[in-house]
Amino acid sequence: MRLFSFKFRKMNIEIISIGRELLDGRTIDTNSVFFGEELKKRGLVPRFYQRVDDVREDMLAAFDIAAKRSDLIFVTGGLGPTSDDLTTEIFAKFMSLKLVENPEARKTLENRFQSLGRTMHDSQLKQAQFPQGAKHLTNDIGTAPGFSYQDKHRKWFFMPGVPSEMKFIFKNHIQNEVPPQKNFKRKVWMTHFTSEGELQQKLKDVIAALPKEISFFYRTRFPENHLGLSGVVDTEDLQKYFETASKQIEEILADTFFSTTEGQGLEAIVTELARKSGIHAASVESCTGGLVSSRITDVSGSSDVWWGAYCTYDNSAKLDLAAAVDLETQMNEALSDNGAVSEEVASTMALCGAKKTSKSIGTNSLCVSTTGVAGPSGGTKDKPVGMCCIAVANESRVLFKTTVYARPGLSRQQNKLYFSQHALNSLRLELLKQ
């Protein structure tokens, strides 16, 4: 059953983040960003946000302010066993409720400590006490549980401040209780190697034709730019506008977008394509230092399709790998004639990796390679900082090779990320052909 209805008025949503570490710079509050991202998928935007010291008077004031203006309130932090974890106690005081031990929460705590092989001290039992009438929200990845409380006019949700634990509780206990805006629709296009200015110029006519009920938005997450449409489309005309604009955007963006699934990274797409193709993939990396492989292995289930990686940073490492698959002469010639940062060396690296992968596991394979100049030093006139050569090969031949150039002024880490994005995209394009 939904908690609220949008029929009569818009819901006021508030976020309260508790903890001095959020105020003195020790910790960056990523929790509020998460809530914003999750809520916007439902057509909702928090109206208020408070960041509060873990001081009794300040916390009481924060709860009082939120209670007077908001319908749905998310509170994070201060649920642990230490003396400065005051959230539960202060909320009970604010609501004039008794703190009572929740048997389910206590049992969960006991089981958790037993599974960890740790002794549960009496101080830990503090986490099993909730305001009378509160609902226990289990935390399977930490010790501090969350809880919710419904008063006469509003719903409160309390979660640990640890981001992973907060997200677990939100996704498993809370998100289905947050009602989406009725008739809300949202579509996102995830592009890369673009700029907001370039996208704005391409899409200006589409944007100008949108009715006020449909919004166009951008989000930059280097080296990607995400853009999309959102709005309440509660009439036939608005639905038609939304669908027409979506088709126009896809036609204009063409190959610059790689997904319309919000939050789906390029590494996840490559993993899924490799799985569908029955191909094992690998990387041989110089300037990216293993970042391509690291991004792939961040994806759960990537072990089904990712064989591994070689970080052949020094030329001798490139030659050693080549010798293992009888391509030492080819690599030596490529290095001597063209230098380490060249499409010829990238091609030989990719071929070496594909042959090694196929030889090791006896299946079809693809390998992507990177060799370039991440900077800030090491660049020349002919091979400047931000230049990267990329190749993709199977065990028989080189399928693709290219040279990319990042824009000047990027940091070493940004260049590496840019190169890895191009490498993964090159792998994606080749997998689509399989």
- pLDDT the model gives residue 291: 98
User: Of how many residues is the chain composed?
Assistant: 434
Distances (CA, A) of 370 to 65, 289, 409: 54, 9, 20
- pLDDT the model gives residue 363: 79
- pLDDT the model gives residue 313: 97
Q: Which residues of the chain are under the pLDDT cut of 50? A: 1-9
- pLDDT the model gives residue 119: 84
Neighbouring residues of 362: CB distance < 8 A, sequence distance ≥ 6: none
Closest CA to 190 of 271, 255, 275: 255
- pLDDT the model gives residue 133: 97
The three-class DSSP label of residue 265 is coil
Residue matched to tokens 């970080």: 311
Query: How far apart are the C-alpha atoms of 112 and 164, rounded to whole Å?
Result: 17
Residue matched to tokens 């005309």: 237
Give the number of other Cβ atoms within 10 Å of residue 115's Cβ. Answer: 8
Distances (CA, A) of 225 to 188, 194, 195, 197, 259: 10, 7, 7, 11, 11
Asked whether the CA dihedral 105, 107, 111, 114 is positive or negative, the reply is positive
Sheet holding 184-192, edge to edge: 214-221, 224-232, 184-192, 257-259
- pLDDT the model gives residue 115: 85
- Angle formed at CA 418 by CA 413 and CA 424, multiple of 5 degrees: 125
Domains (range + CATH), the chain: 13-177 (3.40.980.10), 184-259 (3.30.70.2860), 266-432 (3.90.950.20)
Neighbouring residues of 198: CB distance < 8 A, sequence distance ≥ 6: none
Contact between 371 and 349 under an 8 Å Cβ cutoff? The reply is yes
- pLDDT the model gives residue 400: 97
- pLDDT the model gives residue 295: 98
Instruction: State both tokens at 311.
Output: 């970080």
